[in-house]
Amino acid sequence: MTRHRWMTGLALGGLLAAGTSSAQFPSLDVPFVPTPEPVVDGMLRLAQVGPGDVVYDLGSGDGRIVIAAAQRYGARGVGVDIDPDRIRESNENAVSAGVDNQVRFIQGDLFEADIRPATVVTLYLLGSVNEEIRPRLLHQLRPGTRVVSHAFDMGEWQPDANTVVEGSEIYLWVIPAQAGGQWSAAIESLAGVEELSMALQQQFQQVRGMVVLNGAHMMLEDGQMQGEQLEFTLDDGNGNLRRLRGHVNGDSITGWVYGVGDSTPSGRWHATRVGHEDTGQIRTGR
């Protein structure tokens, strides 16, 4: 994969005017533009950062986002930036803020960083860079991990939530579990046990597919993934609607069945994945 890295003309021009060769400095995916403090706080609040979180900021600049996460919310943080000057500045800022024992900064390529420990990832990149890193986020991060971006979206991956802070758009996505494939399932209620099979396709947090219940074929409706939580509606064609909610854990799902609009479950359901199909694993849209 070829990536074009660049510095702003202003920054590079200043270095060359000072007699410094551009070969001594790493090329950058995006220029360093600090995130305003109200936006930093808005990003962390939208991601619901708390003391148990590990916040990774990709393209961390002067470290302000992970430092704020540690200082205001008690989280731990890791910043990744390719510019050694920004890493040096970040470490100094962490010491000044008194959180150097909660955060660390790594000089390196954000496309090569190991982000698997993260529970929250923050971004202030370009839209094209967001889309380029999107497959890495979806494949490395655990289901339920929150990704929050300042100003730029993820293309066809629609956000789970968004807000505006002082004129700046902030987007939130929750990494979805993989629900695509063939499933063998059963619904257990006072009426007995109903066997069903499901063929599910997934594109990001959207789930669609076909269900066979008691020999009748029906389309799954309103399928949604929210992290590890799957929800969809079944319509048996006779006006009987049921909402199934379940927790996806690898190749198994367990959950509850509700009448549409009901808050009390009418039964339980469980499912086991019996086949993975290419058409059932639409994760990146690429």
Hey, what domains does the chain have and what are their CATH numbers?
9-174 (3.40.50.150), 181-280 (2.40.128.120)
Q: Say how many Å lie between the first and final Cα of the chain, rounded.
A: 14
Report which of 118, 277, 265, 264 is spatially closest to residue 198, judged by C-alpha positions: 277
pLDDT tens digits, the chain, 286 residues: what are they? 333 333 322 232 333 333 333 334 445 555 678 899 999 999 999 999 999 999 999 999 999 999 999 999 999 999 999 999 999 999 999 999 999 999 999 999 999 999 999 999 999 999 999 999 999 999 999 999 999 999 999 999 999 999 999 999 999 999 999 999 999 999 999 989 999 999 999 999 999 999 998 888 998 999 999 999 999 999 877 778 899 999 999 999 999 999 888 899 999 999 999 998 644 444 444 4
Take residue 124 and report the two structure tokens written for it. Answer: 């202030």
Per-residue pLDDT at 83: 96
Q: Cβ(87)–Cβ(67) under 8 Å?
A: no
Per-residue pLDDT at 86: 96
Per-residue pLDDT at 38: 97
Q: Would you give the DSSP letter of residue 282?
A: B
Per-residue pLDDT at 106: 98
Per-residue pLDDT at 114: 97
What are the C-alpha distances in Å from 3 to residues 6, 30, 76, 144, 171?
10, 11, 30, 29, 24
What's the predicted TM-score (pTM) here? 0.84
Per-residue pLDDT at 236: 74
Per-residue pLDDT at 276: 85
